[in-house]
Structure 1
């Protein structure tokens, strides 16, 4: 039997196991998953609708919020509906093509999400350090171009991953202990050397995140430097309020993402169900919390939402 399970073959499908060790609780786990997903859709669609309808919000910062909302919707939709099918209906099968498509979209969406957060840090830097030239430096057209660069980067760097995986021979044991097709989780199903997959995935993680986090760090270093030069407490408070929402979004986004990626490679001592739950939190919490964070911290957006609510 062991020899049979290690025989390379061409798989027609994989089986997503959900959360190993918590199978009896799948039905109940699905409830918070579903609630978070519904609220994330409502929040992000509302944000897109409000910004699209209100001419006064057609500004670079709100264009960036729309980009963030699109990536949040794309990432959560690529993962959560399938996870709910596993939890509620025991529909665990997924075709190889569907699996590779899912992992491409969720990883490309994640990389685009990081690019948007980096652009938002630059936006905050210009708004605080060079406010008089803000409209000159960051026009809507320039923000759109930066967003397109981030999307192009994600697509080009993610395309080799499904190509590399499709060339691997997979064993008869095609059970993936996860709720979605993650790069390394799929690669570990192969009956071949996956060193190239490991190195490429790890290289992308460190290069892209290292580049993005470095640019974000440099932006905030300049912001702190500019704020410290001003003695006014009111100016300090305004700068803090300007950056609080962005910092909160970064913490909710990067923390579970880094945990998920690093534990797949170095976290052998971490219980599988802990890792999988944390990995899913990346697709549940940020999409749900981001519209709330920016809605609470951005007065202009909050007032506009209130105006439309009163009309209803």
Structure 2
């Protein structure tokens, strides 16, 4: 397991270096990213010089790239054009919001999706299997932005027995909305379509595992069907779902751009769209790069978890 871990981490570091190198070349060799403001006015010469010194654009390629890596690992991403605040400070403020949204959405989709897929696989051909299959296929046909728009229109500000379940959008000025109430509707929106994918994946994987020889052997030894399914079947059937969860978290950590924008959720995706609209280049650069690095690291983590669940993966 230690050798497998070292190999996967080495691969992740190599991919991160390639990503940073390509990003560095694209940013600083195809135009000057620090020449103009969002309204296309020239930045003051002293501001341009300060940004170039911080990113080392006046130095040779190798020295420039090493400075770029040093800035990356120390959080020196430059200064925001709009508020003149450090970019790292802006991202640090919104990153926990997106992380909470991603984790909550994945927990909802995994809990419901795994349970639905396992029930459909254990009772194939029944009415329950037909209902779950029909529902998941329908959900897979729904674009995320359509679900988000419908939920915002119909559910924002919804009250039940005098209690407001979801906050009204747009938020009233000066109103402080508790985090859980604010994040719940975007999380459900993200999870809804993913639930269908997880359920379909879990059902297919579970059907393959339930027909495996080692489960027949377990039944022949006299183990109860419940123990066979829960302890031996689901442990192996859930491996593809774990892989999907890691990829989904990686994508969401980069910012659920559409959902955060529609629900005006103060996360990385919403900040990215605002910065892109305002041509706020330092913020766009930092979010794009950090999103790619987070995605690579989460894929490596998923590989390690899969290897732990199935020792056969370690020898591949």
- Scaled by the length of structure 2, the TM-score of the pair is 0.30
Of structures 1 and 2, the larger Rg is shown by 2
Q: TM-score, normalised by structure 1?
A: 0.30
